[in-house]
Chain A
Amino acid sequence: MIQFLNLLFRNRLAGLGAGMLVLILLIALITPVLPLPDPNITATADRFMSPFSEGHLLGTDHLGRDLLSRLLSGTRLSLAVGVAAALIATVIGSSIGIVAGFLGGRTDNIIMRLVDMLMAFPYILLALAIVAALGPGLNNALIAVAAVNVPFFARNIRGVTVGLANKEFVDAARLNGMSNGQIIFSEILPNVLPVIVIAMSTTIGWMILETAGLSFLGLGSQPPQADLGSMLGEARAALITFPHTSVVPGIMIFLIVMSINLLGDGVRDAIDPRLKSGALSRPLPATIVERKEVPPTPDKDLLSLQELRTEFHVGERVYKAVGGVSLKVNKGECLGIIGESGSGKSVTALSVMGLVASPPGKIVGGTVSFQGKDLVGASYNELRSLRGDRVAYIFQDPLSTLHPLYTVGDQLIEAMQAHRSVPQKDAQARAVELLEAVRIPNAAQRVKNYPHEMSGGMRQRVSIAMALANEPDVIIADEPTTALDVTVQAQILSLLNDLRRERDLAIVFITHDFGVVAQLCDRVAVMYAGQIVEEGPTAAILDDPQHPYTKRLMACVPELGGGKRELHAIAGLPPAVDQLPQGCAFAARCEFAQEVCRQGGIMLEPKGERAVRCLFPVNADQIEVTL
């Protein structure tokens, strides 16, 4: 509760709304004891006195009644009626929803059909029909407004209840011999309550507005009693000659509804966990760059990263996802980046073209050079012209990475037309060619398919075709085969390998699978906690892993046919990248770690073609894996 209030008031606007509302409520409460004239006493001689007249702070209305006094009593009435309508609608609607959702089956079916029927009406129209039947009057207006809101509550609360009714704790309660009524009150209601509160806080403003509206139409409160709506309705006749009689109650309704809306938004944000910690911010077109130190001069290689640092800033916390990575890849070469999830390999790959989601991501140091040009400092337009043209990506899980509403053909054509003007006809022909190049059978038909009409392997081929569309120099493949089954995986890998040979492509291949690395990559870099711990030619590293982490990672790979070797999971978890230890990040899980490993940074020591970041590198036969 305290946490909820903290969250609520951290939101300044919600605080403002709450303040305004409390003030209005207080004034409404103390109105009867204020020294004000009777709101219903007429004095036709004093008609339409302007505001700030003597004895009438806000002036008088068309019957000479004191406007301030009428405003305050009208506010009391409007608030009371609106809140009453909201409470009635909430209680009845939620009860119906809970019963329907909990009992399910036929009861649910009949109730929900009826609710659907009622929701087929335009909202205010139904209220008018009910008032027509019951006759004009404030009580009837209240009933009408409450009644038209019941279906809204019933449907929302039913939805939540259905989700809860099948949960284990409800089954457990049933096994304990609790009756349906007991389960509803002790298990369901407490869980549904937040939703009820959200629904009520977002609709109570509407209900005040609607009752005021019915009164405005002359269907609600009847003279001489007046709520804000009927005050406005009565003043309308004199709108042009004496506008203050309309403006005064109008502004009051506006203030009430606005304060409730502000508070309601605050309540919703505070309760809805999805909105906490700014999770709903959208990524910018390119990652924010804030390099503090002078970046290294760009390299002449095809693609090279030097001391690249990428961080995520979430609230006070800083996650150092990539902590100074240097890599290079040349024409026709395949570089593998391997590591556990969370090791920073994907963020490294996305940093190349500024695709790290930002906020919260930020590139804070280093360079990425492509043919001698620094991409980290490049403008968005320069980046965009290289993206997909010279450096293309293939992502994991093509169901979520392909646009669901465009045909694969259109997505391929778009990839081409983003960089050069290709006549539609040629682009279509080329799209078919591309699908054929990635060995999709019946390509001419397949271009017209939507992603959801294809299998996972086919979709992955489409994303490869899309990466090839502009004959790029580099392809960055981020776990492109992880979501696929083994046979399809093998096909995709050999396809990529063939394409590399045919087109002299450079490939950066990100994976957590040493088997894949062995099959495809010339060189491999092993990442741990945002840093490269070992790097070198694939064969050399596979034969003789020198970093204890590499060795342990390889021990996790099952070997076909061997059958004798035991599989060894690595004990412990990688460190959280917002709390990196001093010294070696792997020390806590390493059986060879010594005191010195936990002090100061450890450099990536080059040794010929290889490099290792370890004070006590292991030799091939040195460790007997023990459990």
Chain B
Amino acid sequence: MAAYILKRLISAIPVLFGITLIVFLIMAMIPGDPATAILGAYATPENVAKINRDLGLDAPLFQRYFIWLGNLFTGDLGRSYSLNRPVLHEIIERFHATLVLAGSSFVLCAVFGILAGVVSAARQYGWADKAITFTVLIGISIPSFFLGMVMILVFAVRLRWFPVSGMYAIYGGGDILDLLRHLIMPALALAAVATGVVARMSRSAMLEVLRQDYIRTARAKGVKERKVILGHALSSAMVNIIPVLGIQAGFVLSGAVYIEMVFQWPGIGRMLVDAILKRDILLVQGGVVFVAACYVLFNIVVDVVQSLLDPRIKS
């Protein structure tokens, strides 16, 4: 097991390098002079030169990449111009909020998606299947940002069940209950599409598995149907569902940007949008690399879980 984890970690190294290179190259595509973009058209030549020096923009492209990469290793992602603080501090603070949001959405989409898929497959063509299929269709068609807005109108403004926006109440609050009250709507809105996708995939994976010979064997042994579905069939279907969960993790992690805008959630997505609009390149660069690297590491966890489940992978 340890050997497998190590193998996967090592294989992630080139991917992580690739990510830094791609982000760097994308940022290098910025047309015109970044210094002018930051300072505006009326900047003095001295200030332009200073910024170019600060950003290391006077060096050739590949050299700049290695300087940036070297700084990355020491945890120095540079200083944000718009916020005037180290990029890394800002990212860590913001990422915490995104992780809370995306993490709960991920749990919701995994639990409810698989549950819906299993029920749907076990009751194929029954009313539960039809109701789930219909709900899923709506779930995957509704833009998350619109769903969030509708939820605010219904549950916060009309019914007053939840606060309209934010992560904590401004006065008082700050405890876990306060967080939960603020979290429920954005987490649900973010999870909707992912839940729909997971439900669809789980349904078809379960249908595929239920046709297998070993399911007939389990039934021929007299295993209870509940155990056939939740044990024999689901354990095999999980082999196909887990990769989909990995993709959905990336989806909720990056799709959080919309929900953070709608619910004024102080996460990294909103930080990125602000940084893009303010042309704060270092902040964008750092934020994108950080989130992408987290996603790569999360996918290793997914692979390890997969190998725990399927003994055929390691051999």
Contacts and interface: CB of A to CB of B under 8 A. Distances in A.
A145 interface: no
A467 B276 CA distance: 66
Given A124-B257, A239-B153, A353-B220, A282 B211 contact: yes
Contact of B213 (A236, A246, A258, A395): A395
Interface string B101-134: 0000000000000000000010011000000000
Contacts of B258: 213, 216-217
Interface in A182-216: 205, 209, 212-213, 216
B150 A250 contact: yes
Given A250-B146, A403-B232, A123 B251 contact: yes
B196 to A, nearest CB: 10
Given A121-B19, A414-B223, A405 B311 contact: yes
A389 B232 CA distance: 19
Interface of B: 15, 18-19, 22-23, 26-31, 121, 124-125, 137-138, 140-143, 145-146, 149-150, 152-153, 157, 164, 204, 206-208, 210-225, 227-228, 232, 235-236, 239, 250-251, 253-255, 257-258, 261-262, 272-273, 275-277, 281, 284, 288, 291-292, 295-296, 299, 309-312, 315
B204 A120 contact: no
User: Which of B125, B228, B292: most chain A CB closer than 10 A?
Assistant: B292
Contact of A128 (B138, B164, B217, B257): B257
Contact of B225 (A219, A285, A395, A405): A285
Interface in A458-507: 463, 466, 469
User: Which of A114, A128, A355, A385: most chain B CB closer than 10 A?
Assistant: A128
Interface in A103-140: 113-114, 116-118, 120-126, 128-136
| Majority DSSP secondary structure for residues of A touching B | helix
B217 A419 contact: no
A116 B15 CA distance: 8
29 contacts: A117-B19, A120-B292, A121-B292, A122-B291, A128-B254, A128-B273, A129-B26, A132-B26, A132-B272, A136-B277, A213-B143, A213-B258, A218-B277, A232-B145, A236-B261, A239-B149, A261-B137, A281-B124, A355-B216, A384-B225, A388-B220, A400-B214, A403-B217, A403-B232, A405-B235, A405-B239, A415-B223, A419-B222, A469-B221
A257 B149 contact: no
| Majority DSSP secondary structure for residues of B touching A | helix
Interface of A: 113-114, 116-118, 120-126, 128-136, 205, 209, 212-213, 216-219, 232, 236, 239-240, 243, 246-247, 250, 253-254, 257-258, 261-262, 280-283, 285, 353, 355, 357, 380, 384-389, 392-393, 395, 397, 400-406, 414-415, 418-419, 450, 452-453, 463, 466, 469
A419 B296 CA distance: 46
Contacts of B145: 213, 216, 232
Nearest to A13: B137
Contact of A405 (B276, B295, B299, B310): B310
User: Which of A213, A400, A452: most chain B CB closer than 10 A?
Assistant: A213
B276 A131 contact: yes
A466 B221 contact: yes
A122 B295 contact: yes
B124 to A, nearest CB: 6
B142 A254 contact: yes
Contacts of A463: 217
B221 A418 contact: yes
Contact of B291 (A125, A236, A247): A125
B284 A132 contact: yes
Given A116-B15, A123-B250, A283-B210, A257 B143 contact: yes
Given A257-B143, A403-B214, A120 B224 contact: no
Given A123-B250, A124-B257, A133-B30, A400 B222 contact: no
B251 A122 contact: yes
Nearest to B232: A403
Contact of B211 (A113, A118, A129, A357): A357
Contacts of B275: 132
Contacts of A281: 124-125, 207
Contacts of A355: 216, 219-220
B273 A124 contact: no
A368 to B, nearest CB: 15
Given A120-B18, A132-B281, A250-B143, A403 B220 contact: no
Contacts of A418: 221-224, 227
Given A121-B292, A418-B223, A418-B224, A283 B150 contact: no
Given A132-B275, A395-B213, A405-B235, A384 B222 contact: yes
Contact of B276 (A128, A280, A384): A128
